[in-house]
Amino acid sequence: MDFNLTDEQKDLRELAHNFAEKEIRKVAWEYDKDGTWPQEIIEKAWDVGLMNTHVPEEYGGPGLDFLSGCLIEEEFGWGCSGIGTSLAANGLAMTPVALGGSDEIKAKYLGMLTEEPKLASFCLTEPDAGSDVSGMKTTAVKKGDKWVLNGSKCFITNGQYADWYTVYAKTDKDAGHRGISAFVVPRDDTVIIDKKEDKLGQRASNTATVVFNETEIPADHLLGEENHGFKLAMMTLDRTRPGVAAMAVGIGRAAFEFAAEYSKERVQFGVPIAMHQAVAFMIADMATKVEAGRLLTWQSAALLDQGIRNTLACSHAKRFAADSAMEITVDAVQVYGGYGFIKEYPVEKLMRDAKIMQLYEGTSQIQRLVIAKEVLMGRSVDEPMAEAVRTQTEVAEKQTETAAATV
């Protein structure tokens, strides 16, 4: 067991931290205030190699391991998770292509991301299909040598600016999640951006409704096998949830650092408030949650890098890091007192940003369902107990299988 980073990983983390400090954090609060699209920052991040980090070398990417990706995303979260989400979302869209696309499809669409600073979006969630993916209404119908897509996807990160989309649609309307297929869809005139969301937090991240209106794509744009898209989505989320957890750690770390520094400067009752045990214990708890969240995140990424199934580990990491980010930022506002409630001070933005971490890529409740299923149905449970659990958790199991939530 070795918690030491390689020299290359240390250099990468330093690069990401310096970028977050100089290019992201100094403008983050202005971007948040106006909900401004960070195009200039996207182009700079692409130039220095901090985007598309998991694209294999044969398609023009650096082919970084998953742990290295988590190091970058923690720094993005520390700088501004809204801008960081804009920078990192290509990873979510490209993973199903990397897993299920043909060599020709991968060369075309992954290559598109590495040749220019272009964007792609992951389209799973619908107005009536969040955690319950089987409720989706978007359809894909085979007509000759083409697929024709119709439907609406909501809460789509970078949806307004994407050049192509990974889209999940029903190819068998009566088969629930077993009737879902995945497609790569280039943007054309039949792809309509219907709405840009005005959000509580992560306001520099574009979140839009994307409508597919008789959108035709070639037959070879099916990713993986027909009606096996749900499995592809779950494989994707196992690979991307460590990055989400890392970004949550970054948010929590930023709030902890602001609160710790403020507690040493703010004087009440004749001493810095850090000298009061009530505040000191809050700071100590923040520090522990940051450290524990990072270790869970690194474990979930390291398992992937070793080729080991990480479903349980990434749910542990995502659930704990997201909930901890929310708890840390709320406590940071408390440490600032009334000033924490004022937009002039940094922690209220972090509190708003933290909330989405408990919602997208599987809510904290869905993560608990995944964890419960894994630990209760695992090999450590004796057979009579396992059978009883199977009987009592049929509904929960269905919910677990459809654990995707808003992305």
In sequence order, the 6+-apart residues with CB closer than 8 A to the CB of 103 are none
Q: What is the DSSP letter of 403?
A: T
Burial class (CB in 10 A: 0-12, 13-18, 19+), 307: exposed
Answer yes or no: are the C-beta atoms of 17 and 71 closer than 8 Å. Answer: no
In sequence order, the 6+-apart residues with CB closer than 8 A to the CB of 366 are 131, 399, 400, 403, 404, 405
How many C-alpha atoms does 28 have within 13 Å on its Cβ side?
A: 32
Answer yes or no: are the C-beta atoms of 182 and 164 closer than 8 Å. Answer: no
Q: Position of tokens 């703010």?
A: 266
In sequence order, the 6+-apart residues with CB closer than 8 A to the CB of 46 are 52, 117
Catalytic residue among 23, 75, 348, 361: 361
In sequence order, the 6+-apart residues with CB closer than 8 A to the CB of 182 are 96, 100, 166, 167, 168, 222, 223, 224, 229, 232, 233
Q: Position of tokens 């970078």?
A: 158
**Whole-number Cα distances in Å, 91 to 94, 110, 268:** 5, 10, 47
Q: Which of 55, 399, 377, 85 is nearest to 250 (CA)?
A: 85
What pairs with residue 209 in β-bridges?
195
How far is the C-alpha of 211 from the C-alpha of 123, rounded, in Å?
A: 10
Q: What is the DSSP letter of 36?
A: -
**Whole-number Cα distances in Å, 46 to 8, 154, 244:** 19, 26, 20
In sequence order, the 6+-apart residues with CB closer than 8 A to the CB of 381 are 375, 389
* 361 catalytic residue (yes or no): yes
Assign 202 to helix, strand or coil: coil
In sequence order, the 6+-apart residues with CB closer than 8 A to the CB of 43 are 117
Catalytic residues: 361
